[in-house]
Amino acid sequence: MDGLEEKVKHMAEYLDAEAIASALKIPVETVQDILDGKALVQEVASSPQSPPVVQISSARVAYRQRVIAVWRAKGGVGATSVALGLAWLLKDLMRVLLVDCSFEAGVSDISFVLNLPEYPHIKAFDYGGIAGAVINVEPTLDVLQAPRNRSEIDELPRDVFARAVNSARASYDVIICDLPNMEGLPVQGVLENANTLLLVTGGEDGEKSRMLARLAGVDLNGKEVFLLCNRNSEGGGPIAEVLPFREFAVSADPELARGLRRGQVFPANGLFMRALMEVRNAMYESSAARKGGILRRLFGRG
């Protein structure tokens, strides 16, 4: 992005690297490398409806801005836990927005586990922008939650989630969208703007077949697709035979379920989070391979 380098250099006349990084929502190492002439900042075209994806490469930092849609073809397979767990893993490495795309009345699982107040939520986006609609949970983790009241849910414009995700791209390194078990315009708009799909199943062939039918209506051009079989899974199945993506599995983790019922966030050393670490590493390893060891520098492992 041509303007970013110029903006960083101009801001450096009166701000230090940490202040610039905080204002522009980019790593401080990237700011320093831009000032030293060691970073390459590019815009890569996405879909016609979406803004370009920002790619920043330097000696120390390399990432592809990701909009990750977590989707399922059946309720109760742990997709929300996957979205929240992935956000929890990435928040120590980059600036994360977790978007709760729930259309059900009442307190969502994300709002319950994180003990969020009822307001603000996504309805505030149309009059306060993304900054006025999110709730800061951790220094580098914000949540855009759904309304809890049925009347407020019914009043939401069907494209509000897609517009909010587009707007948020200017402020976050990764946006994780927890999609409901449904199809239609609200979900389709988010899918069109995503460049990464994380499909969550319980490992049943029939369930995977339903997901395959849903994917027939999604333009997968330019998207990376991953499958996570949550529960005990045999692996493979009809989706993996048709689509070229990587498949991961996680065994049932009773400690996870008990913790979520108590409103507790996941232990880092549990079965569930260890499986999500593999998914996270796979999502970022392609750019790491091109940059020679970036994955180890980002995550502290090869």
pLDDT tens-digit readout, 206-259: 777 788 888 888 888 888 899 888 764 444 455 555 555 778 887 766 666 666
Closest CA to 230 of 9, 49, 76, 63: 76
| 34 found inside a domain | no
| 261 found inside a domain | yes
| 7 found inside a domain | no
Total of domains in the chain: 1
Confidence band of 297 (pLDDT split at 50, 70, 90): very low
- Summarised one tens digit per residue, pLDDT across range 54-110 is 566 654 444 568 999 999 877 777 889 899 999 999 998 889 999 999 888 888 889
Strands 246-250 and 224-230: parallel
| 53 found inside a domain | no
pLDDT of 179 higher than 60? yes
| 233 found inside a domain | yes
CATH code of the domain containing 114: 3.40.50.300
Q: Which residue has the higher pLDDT, 195 or 299?
A: 195
pLDDT of 112 higher than 60? yes
Distance between CA atoms of residues 110 and 263, nearest Å: 9
pTM: 0.74
User: Which residue bears the tokens 């979900």?
Assistant: 187
| 125 found inside a domain | yes
pLDDT of 175 higher than 90? yes
- Summarised one tens digit per residue, pLDDT across range 265-293 is 666 677 888 888 899 989 887 544 444 44
Distance between CA atoms of residues 120 and 243, nearest Å: 39
| 24 phi and psi angles, rounded to 5 deg | -95, -5
| 99 found inside a domain | yes
| 51 found inside a domain | no
Mean pLDDT of 181-205: 85
Mean pLDDT of 140-154: 94
Domain span including residue 152: 66-283
